Amino acid sequence: MDERLTNFNRFGVLYIHAMVRTALLCAFLATSCSLSLDPAQKTVKDIGTIEHVREDWAADWNAKRISEIMRLYAPDAVFLQPNSERTTGVESIRALFAKVLAANTPHIAFHGITIEGSDNLAYDSGTYEETITSGAATRSTRGDYLLILKRQPDGRWLIVQQAWSDASSEK
Average pLDDT over residues 55-69: 98
63 secondary structure, DSSP code: T
Q: How far apart are CA 109 and CA 138, in angstroms?
A: 16
Q: How far apart are the C-alpha atoms of 76 and 87, rounded to whole Å?
A: 10
Reported as a pLDDT band with limits 50, 70 and 90, residue 2 is low
The pLDDT of residue 64: 98
Report the alpha-carbon distance of residue 2 to residue 18 in Å, rounded. 24
CA dihedral 107, 121, 119, 68 (to 10 degrees): -50
pLDDT at 33: 36
Confidence of residue 168 (pLDDT cuts 50, 70, 90): confident
Give the model confidence (pLDDT) of 3-61 as tens digits: 554 554 555 544 454 444 444 434 444 433 333 334 445 555 678 899 999 999 999 99
Of 31 and 163, which is predicted with more confidence?
163
- The DSSP symbol for 127 reads E
CA dist 130 → 9, 54, 92, 100 (Å):
79, 14, 22, 13
Which range is least confidently modeled, 107-116, 119-128, 134-143, 162-171? 162-171
The CA distances from residue 48 to 124, 126, 136, in Å, are: 11, 15, 38
pLDDT at 170: 52
Q: How many CB atoms lie within 10 A of CB 54?
A: 20
pLDDT at 47: 87
pLDDT, tens digit (0-9, with 9 covering 90-100), for 79-120: 999 888 999 999 999 999 999 999 999 999 999 999 998 889
Answering whether pTM is above 0.75, one says: no
Q: Output the pLDDT for position 151.
A: 95
- Residue 53: how many other CB atoms lie within 10 Å: 20
Domains in the chain with CATH codes: 46-169 (3.10.450.50)
